[in-house]
Amino acid sequence: MAQTEDLDTLLAAIRRTFDVDFEPLQVDGDTLQVLTIHNMQAHLDKLLHTRAMRNPLKDLPLWAKVWPASFVLGRLLRNYEPEGKTLLELGAGCGILSLIAARYGFSRIVLSDVQEDALRFARANVLRNHLEDRVDVCHVDVTAPGRDPRFSPGFDRIAASEILYLDELHGPLLKFTARHLAPGGKALFCTDMARAKPHFAKLAAKSFKITEGRVGVKSRDEEGREQRRLYTVLILERP
């Protein structure tokens, strides 16, 4: 699943819709270059004007946001013996979690989403950070039936941040995880406690051994005020 577009061609396609530039993002002393939208308000106004936004949770470009949960989960993956393991990121958006995880020794990372714009941004981020030899970007729909033949060996780790906000995805997501998690593998899901979904953990417990943890994160808001947020991390293993 090699990347098929060069960065300049990809950026030209993206810029037909979005005003974008790469901006530096500091992560544990390293710097990632992340493609950032500058005309977000104009894009939202266009969606409203054309009545293209029928369901805000599905139609808003949430994939473009850099979610703090991606940092929480990305760092946590270091604790689960990444060297030589495979990783699938679901609902990756612009791919921050995979960009972070690529530094930890995974033998293969697949960064996935269902939104084509998200996949374009993710591909651009992978290429700009010179990670195309370690990270593949592809369309993955967890609601599709059956096992995806592209992933027949399964993955040692499946990870997703802020993917549980749509309740109707919980069942399909768990079935997908059961089909594509390799023996002895672990699936990790990270969510801000303000958006926690206890129902997902109860549903997952029917098929998996569940470990749940809490991670507190200090950060600063746009006005420089310190704030602390709490994240829940669910770890699923086969019983």
CATH code at position 190:
3.40.50.150
pLDDT at residue 53 in the model: 46
Domain count, the chain: 1
Residue 47 lies in a domain: no
**b/e map of 187-207 (b: 16 or more CB within 10 Å)?**
bbbbbbeeebbeebbebbeee
Residue 175 lies in a domain: yes
Residue 162 lies in a domain: yes
If the chain, 239 residues long, is cut into consecutive pieces of 10 residues, what is the mean pLDDT of each piece?
A: 75 92 92 87 52 52 84 93 96 95 95 94 97 96 94 96 92 97 96 91 96 84 75 92
pLDDT at residue 74 in the model: 92
Residue 179 lies in a domain: yes
pLDDT at residue 64 in the model: 84
| 8-state DSSP, 55 | S
DSSP lists the bridge partners of residue 226 as 220
Residue 87 lies in a domain: yes
pLDDT at residue 188 in the model: 98
pLDDT at residue 57 in the model: 45
Residue 187 lies in a domain: yes
pLDDT at residue 126 in the model: 97
Q: Which domain holds residue 207?
A: 61-237
Residue 63 sits at φ, ψ, to 5 deg, of -65, -20
3-class DSSP state of 171: helix
> Which of 192, 182, 239 minimizes the C-alpha distance to 219?
192
Residue 18 lies in a domain: no
pLDDT at residue 51 in the model: 54
pLDDT at residue 40 in the model: 60
Q: Is 12 exposed, middle or buried (0-12, 13-18, 19+ CB in 10 A)?
A: exposed
CA distance 163 to 215: 17
Residue 102 lies in a domain: yes
